[in-house]
Amino acid sequence: MKRKSQYVLTAIMLNAFLFLSMQYDMSPGSRVNELIFIRITHLKQHNTIDEHTRIYCIPDVIREYSQNGYGPIWTNDRQVASFIDILEHAGSEGISPSDYHLLRLKQLAVSRRDEYIATRDILLTDAFLLYASHISSGKVDPDQYTARWHVITQSINPAEYLHRLKKEKVSDIIKEISPHAAEYHRLGKALNDYMDILRHGGWGRIDGGKMIEPGDRDHRIVKIRERLKMSGNLFPSASTESDLYDDDLRRSVLSFQQRHGIPADGIIGRETIGMMNIPPDQIVQQIRINMERWRWLPHDPGSYYLFVNSANFELKVVRDGVTVSRNKVIVGRPYRKTPILSSQIEYLVFNPSWIIPHGILAKDILPLVRKDMGYLEKEHIRIIDSNGRFVDPRNIDWKDESIADEYLFRQDPGKNNALGSVKFVFPNSYSIYLHDTPAKDLFENRKRTFSSGCIRVERALNLAYLLLDDETYWSMDYIQLIVQSTNYQMVPLRVKPPIYVTYFTFWVEDDGTYQFRRDIYHRDPHVLSALQEEPPAVINQETRRQPKSENSSDRYRPDNRQRDRLHF
């Protein structure tokens, strides 16, 4: 009975194929076309093209072959060989070749049988769509930290590039849609360097013990020298055999500490040895993770933009490829992480008031008010009801747990305002922004995770002066006068630069220096897990998850424009 059903289904498929062949002016005798049609029809019903071969970009594959009259797309053997070679070297991009049918494609590449050619053609198309999506936009969903097994069109539409295969080399197409940023390609070089170290056996572990200071002799110094030499930190003139901590080694240790974002004091203590003991395979994975993060960014960031790296606690302003300003920043606490996002700075607000977010109000402010009723007056915080009227704190039942839902709490402009003298506003779904702070001493800390998600900027008025870029009207003297007046003032920017709030735990400086930072938010394991995720057995292309936010407690904050309308 089962065999009879299969026979009937095949007959129906063949009749449909013959009808379509007339519609598309195809030769009815084309066995490859016929087999492609049968496989695509099977794909519509089973999410596979046969009993064993799954397809990932299902709607797109079906559409492409339907529009192509079920004819083969990969008709040039050189293109096929070139693309398989690209997939074989996907590891140099930090992604896994096995995600793209590589083994099966290599097996099918040597066969000229029609059924294998048909299967190979569909697999090549699926692999191209998926690889193009991953190389241009990333395999990992930055909102979900889950692998994406479908076409991603946030920066390009891979199907449009598939159509260009008849006239252009596949290698040129892949090069065009891959990230162009010099930083990304420097990461690729670093990946190859550490893969080479790994192939040569890596380095040995250095024992713990007492701190080693310049002038000391210690049996561990020989291993330390070997470790620094392998990673390129040891100066060429330095010996690898001496157990003396001499000046050459001290310069190398200082360089190593600076590159790892730890105090550059030249003392080899527990933290420095801990960094030296990170194995090269772990660094390889760290580089892969950060290459993926570059794929999340627009390929063209623009000639003028702001770049925040939360893991490095730094903001850079870049013009025409040159960093013109660097500012320390304070980012969110581990339980109120600063998100990853891209936006555009639209305006500044001098002497901003602060509408205290619901989460901060409920968790931080109200407990302080209940302990000390004078807290509100001391911090210049006023209470506003749903009708926009100021409320006398004495008329509020402070035992009521719904206070945070019923009232807005607004801190007036002034030197004690939590936002300082200026804030920088850009649209985003997290309601975060850049701003000044009265607690400037916090910038002296090495680990600066003190905020509730927003980004506090060192020398914020200097940044405002730079962004306004109008010496005639917005001189620094005039900005200081505005601040001293404590009068609220919103200033639209004449040029609105993009801002990229990122999270890089490894990068390469323009001079080739490798930089390592701690994973302060423990995000790296999630990205790595998704990068290493193997293709699932069955894909439901139409299923989409709702984005999740690490800052979900702040989702109900008023957005930035609502905040600014609440100044009265």
57 a catalytic residue: no
419, 352 Cβ separation under 8 angstroms: yes
List the beta strands (DSSP E) in 212-272: none
What is residue 363's DSSP assignment?
Answer: I
For position 153, what pLDDT does the model report? 80
Residue 4: strand, helix, or coil? helix
Token pair in block for residue 120? 């190979």
Q: Which residues pair with 348 in a beta bridge?
A: 424, 491
339, 430 Cβ separation under 8 angstroms: yes
Q: What are phi and psi of 318, to 5 degrees?
A: -115, 130
249, 243 Cβ separation under 8 angstroms: no
500, 316 Cβ separation under 8 angstroms: no
Which of the residues 101, 134, 150, 454 is marked catalytic? 454
Sequence letter at residue 89: H
Note the helical H segments in 307-384: 358-360, 366-371, 375-378
Residue 503: strand, helix, or coil? coil
- Integer Cα distance of 427 and 346 in angstroms: 8
Which residue, chain included where needed, has tokens 């905040």?
563
Q: Which is it for the CA torsion 549, 550, 552, 558, positive or negative?
A: negative
For position 174, what pLDDT does the model report? 97
What is residue 24's DSSP assignment?
Answer: T
Residue 341: strand, helix, or coil? strand
Which of the residues 435, 522, 526, 567 is marked catalytic? 435
Nearest C-alpha neighbor of 383 from the set 403, 400, 363: 403
Nearest C-alpha neighbor of 183 from the set 283, 294, 312: 294
- Integer Cα distance of 54 and 287 in angstroms: 30
Mean pLDDT, contiguous 10-residue spans, the chain (568 residues): 48 49 48 94 87 88 95 94 97 96 92 92 97 96 92 86 94 95 95 96 94 96 95 80 93 95 96 97 98 94 96 97 95 94 96 89 90 90 91 89 90 92 95 95 96 95 96 94 95 97 96 96 97 72 43 38 43
For position 525, what pLDDT does the model report? 97
For position 457, what pLDDT does the model report? 98
